[in-house]
Amino acid sequence: MRISIDDLQVGDRLLTDAMTTNGVNILAADSVVEAIDIVKLKRHRIAEVDIELRKRDLPSVGAPHDPKSLEAAYAAAVKGIKIVFLQVSAGKGIDETIIDRIVEPLVDRFAQEQDVVSLLIGLRSNDEYTYTHSVQVGMLSYFIAKWLGKSEKDCLLAGKAGYLHDIGKSRFDMALLNKATKLTDAEYEEVMRHTEYGSALIVKYLRQPLMARVALEHHERLDGSGYPHGLTGKKIHPLSRIVALADIYSAMTSSRAYQKERDLLDVLREIHALGFSKLDPKITQVFITRMLPHFIGKSVQLNNGRTGQIVMMHPTDPFRPLLQVEETFIDLTRHLELRIVSVLP
């Protein structure tokens, strides 16, 4: 199968020699492509190569990929969690059938997505933060559990726990949650209690003790700096640690009245650092390792105003990758004056 060099991926196997227009053999037939090979092929301006048919190129079973279907599922999930919040606020409790009807089809749709970074870029929103944040945390929790090798049942539980992790905020007026200025000490103390409120609500209406524990613990940190109980290390449930990471990532990459939207790569760098103290290091490493390869091929903007494309991640500093800017390759580990300011959608 002949494909564009832009579609070539690490692990592809060449069927024929990759030759320049001058007849120079750059990569031999039967070679398994590595990241550096893609760089060499692009450097020699080889436009297309022949590769073995890949599983990802075979027709999929069921409905074809449709970005609109994902957007619709995402919008339905946001609407669903809003309904759940409003029902709880009105004293009607949590309807588990709504959770199942919204979360299960949504995670089924997520499971079909290959490019997680594009998915996250496309779904970020500053509209109705509390609700969109809940959906994003549910989505990320599902992915992280999947990457950790959990069973589908446990992944679905992680998704639901993430979806409901902030349900305790249904006790508050939205004006308080969306306040543009800094909360007073009293307001902050009250908002912190959403973990306890959420846990109690889940126990009362769903009788799901593990999901209730996640709602209670998702702000706990391994070094004891979290709340409400300052738990440390293994005292925090593994599922709570998954949702905690998803919660932090979603919060950091969201735009709110008091916070500008931050770049995905910059946020990953900070989460990597948190893995040495506050977040579970294994979960953090799996998350970073799974996320970073999806940045290859993404367009980025540099602090000098120029745009380029990520060619490969540096083995010793993955947050300063090799870029192609027009016809030039720039190794950011050797140009410390340059940095990526945004990953473009």
* Helix (H/G/I), strand (E/B), else coil: 309: strand
Residue 247's nearest CA partner among 292, 283, 200 is 283
Angle between helices 209-217 and 238-252 (to 10 degrees): 50
Examine residue 64 and say whether the peptide bond preceding it is cis (omega within 30 degrees of 0).
Answer: no
| Cβ-contact 158, 246 below 8 angstroms | no
pLDDT at 261: 64
Same domain, 203 and 249: yes
Strands 25-27 and 307-312: unpaired
154: Cα separation from own chain's centroid: 18
Using one digit for the tens of pLDDT, what is the confidence trace for 16-61?
Answer: 888 888 788 888 888 888 888 888 888 888 988 888 755 444 333 3
pLDDT at 62: 36
Same domain, 280 and 332: no
Same domain, 255 and 119: yes
Which CATH number does the domain housing residue 35 bear?
A: 3.90.105
| Cβ-contact 269, 318 below 8 angstroms | no
pLDDT at 276: 95
Q: Which tokens in the block code for residue 323? A: 């870029």
Q: Looking at the domain assignment, is residue 111 inside a domain?
A: yes
Q: Looking at the domain assignment, is residue 209 inside a domain?
A: yes
Same domain, 136 and 205: yes
Nearest 5°: phi and psi at 35?
-60, -40
Domain final residue, candidates 31, 57, 83: 57
pLDDT at 240: 98
Q: Looking at the domain assignment, is residue 331 inside a domain?
A: yes
Using one digit for the tens of pLDDT, what is the confidence trace for 171-220?
Answer: 998 888 878 788 899 999 999 999 999 999 999 999 899 999 999 999 99
Same domain, 192 and 77: yes
Residue 89's nearest CA partner among 165, 167, 160, 162 is 167
Torsion (CA) 312, 316, 319, 320 in degrees, nearest 10: -70
pLDDT at 283: 97
Same domain, 288 and 339: no
CA distance 156 to 138: 9
Tell me the residue range of the domain where 322 lies.
Answer: 296-343
Q: Looking at the domain assignment, is residue 239 inside a domain?
A: yes
Same domain, 288 and 307: no
Same domain, 138 and 210: yes
Using one digit for the tens of pLDDT, what is the confidence trace for 57-102?
Answer: 433 333 444 556 677 778 888 888 888 898 898 888 888 877 887 7
pLDDT at 55: 45
Residue 102's nearest CA partner among 124, 146, 72 is 72
Mean pLDDT (the chain) is 85
| Cβ-contact 287, 147 below 8 angstroms | yes
Q: Looking at the domain assignment, is residue 47 inside a domain?
A: yes
pLDDT at 113: 64
Residue 217's nearest CA partner among 254, 244, 185 is 244
Using one digit for the tens of pLDDT, what is the confidence trace for 108-167?
Answer: 776 666 667 666 766 655 567 889 899 999 989 999 999 999 999 999 999 999 999 999
Kindly state the average pLDDT of the residues 330-338.
94
- What's the sign of the alpha-carbon dihedral 263, 81, 200, 150? negative
- The H-or-E segment that residue 307 falls in is strand 307-312
Q: Looking at the domain assignment, is residue 173 inside a domain?
A: yes
Same domain, 51 and 179: no
Which CATH number does the domain housing residue 288 bear?
A: 1.10.3210.10
Number of domains in the chain: 3
Q: Looking at the domain assignment, is residue 140 inside a domain?
A: yes
Same domain, 143 and 268: yes
Residue 172's nearest CA partner among 89, 66, 73 is 89
Contacts of 14 (CB under 8 A, 6+ apart): 27, 28, 29, 30, 31, 33, 49, 50, 51
Using one digit for the tens of pLDDT, what is the confidence trace for 312-323?
Answer: 998 888 889 999
| Cβ-contact 129, 114 below 8 angstroms | no
Same domain, 246 and 106: yes
Q: Looking at the domain assignment, is residue 129 inside a domain?
A: yes
Give the number of residues written for the chain: 345
Same domain, 197 and 322: no
